[in-house]
């Protein structure tokens, strides 16, 4: 099995992130249209989660600590 060049791996990850971004955007837009969620509620929830996460050590940090 051959290893992919680092640039190809980064491009693949970036493309996957773009797809996730599109999926998430579509979901939030649908929830807004159905009056289940507002943009302000969405942004506040994100800020809250980011603040909470910044106060703890994540599994991801531990996983790549020695990398």
Residue 52 lies in a domain: yes
pLDDT reported for residue 57? 85
Residue 32 lies in a domain: no
Residue 25 lies in a domain: no
Euclidean distance between CA atoms 35 and 33, whole angstroms: 5
CA-only gyration radius of the chain, Å: 17
Q: What is the pTM of this model?
A: 0.69
| Other C-beta atoms lying within 10 Å of the C-beta of residue 14 | 9
Q: Which domain holds residue 57?
A: 37-67
Residue 16 lies in a domain: no
Residue 8 lies in a domain: no
pLDDT reported for residue 1? 52
Residue 67 lies in a domain: yes
Q: What is the pLDDT along the chain (67 residues), one digit of tens a residue?
A: 567 788 899 999 999 999 999 999 999 999 999 999 999 999 999 999 999 988 888 888 888 887 6
pLDDT reported for residue 21? 96
The residue behind tokens 């980011």 is 50
Structure tokens at 23: 């999926």
Residue 6 lies in a domain: no
pLDDT reported for residue 61? 83
pLDDT reported for residue 4? 78
Residue 4 lies in a domain: no
Q: For the chain, how many structural domains are there in total?
A: 1
């Amino acid at each position: 099995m051959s290893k992919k060049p680092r640039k190809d791996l980064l491009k693949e990850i970036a493309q996957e992130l773009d797809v996730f971004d599109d999926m998430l955007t579509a979901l939030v837009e649908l929830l807004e249209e159905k009056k289940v969620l507002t943009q302000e509620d969405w942004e506040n929830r994100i800020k809250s989660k980011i603040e909470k996460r910044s106060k703890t050590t994540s599994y991801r940090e531990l996983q790549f600590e020695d990398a």
